[in-house]
Amino acid sequence: MPRPLWAGAISFGLVTIPVKIVSATEDHDVHFHRVHLTDMGRVRTRKVCELDDQVVSQDEIGKGYEVSTGETVTVTDEELEQMPLPTAKAIEIVAFIDAGSIDPVRISDSYYLAADGQVAAKPYTLLRKALERSSKVAVAKFAWHGRERLGLLRIREGAIVLHSMKWPDEVRNPQELAPRAVEVGEEEIEQALQLADRMTIEDLAGFHDEYRQALEDIIAAKSEGKPLPSPAGGEEKGEVVDLMAALNASVKAAKDSRGEDGEDATVHEMRPAKKAGGRTAPAKKRAASSKTAAAKKTTARSSSAKKATGRKTAAKKRSAS
């Protein structure tokens, strides 16, 4: 089990559920060190006071807020921990809301909530079953990393998940980013929907980070003294002039890639017959040759059968006489 990031409790009316926050995701990125290229020595960030130009150790560093020019107020960790907040050490459920009404833009990081001890087992299971039987998610408030946050509680494979959320005033209005009004025909919309249907999949399990894989290949090649992998040749995409033509081409490409509608599927013959001199015989001639060979084999089998029958008849006559 990953190291807990926070310990507290879920407050659900008069029910208290001791829990620990555990990260729900893993970081698989390739991380670089900053190095001095001359001797490969690590280059580190040093914390220096701008007044006396001296390096400062971690235990000499605190939090400060500049209330006005030249006036800074310090706040200690102990003062932050003792703030009169009901959410200081609790994830307080304040409401329930339909799951479909949540704007995904507001969802930030995700965490699992693990039951903290046997005393938490029953209330944890109670909240889990209540959420599983409902189409709603729980809205909660909690304090973490020096600020109060808004969160959502939902169920994923038997575990309670906490999604950290943006406050309503933290989400920018996107209206100013929308393009100017343009006319889009119904036929274009239908083609776009058809393309979406062709590209629909069951889940995202098949996707992986190709950039990270390529980066790891480069690092492996350099560490082993091998040539770097050749760059992949990408297709140059020109300007889309005819939207309908582009949609039609995209739908056809999606069909071809799945081999749908026999005539649209691309069929490759694995072992083409060859003429003398190494030239490939045309498909019609190959088919005709196959039929002729089959006919010859059938005729040969029929002749053999007739001869065998004739021999048996003659044998019977000789034995009768």
Q: Are residues 164 and 249 in the same domain?
A: no
Instruction: Give the number of other Cβ atoms within 10 Å of residue 163's Cβ.
Output: 20
Would residue 65 count as lying in a domain? no
| CATH, residue 139 | 2.40.290.10
> What integer is the mean pLDDT of 152-173?
92
Strand, coil or helix: what is 207? coil
Total domains, the chain: 2
226: which residues sit within 8 A by CB, 6+ positions away?
Answer: 220
For residue range 198-246, list pLDDT tens digits in order. Answer: 888 888 888 888 888 888 888 888 888 888 888 766 555 555 456 667 7
Domain that residue 261 falls in: 189-195+243-265
For the cut 70, the answer to whether the pLDDT of residue 111 exceeds it is yes
Domain boundary among 215, 230, 265: 265
Q: Which residue has the higher pLDDT, 273 or 84?
A: 84
What Cα–Cα distance (Å) separates residue 156 from each residue in 165, 270, 312? 17, 47, 79
Would residue 312 count as lying in a domain? no
For residue range 223-233, list pLDDT tens digits in order. Answer: 888 888 887 66
> What integer is the mean pLDDT of 88-94?
83
For the cut 90, the answer to whether the pLDDT of residue 160 exceeds it is yes
Q: For residue 124, which amino acid is it?
A: Y
> What integer is the mean pLDDT of 48-74?
91
Token pair, residue 286, equals 């190959």
Mean pLDDT over all residues of the chain?
Answer: 77
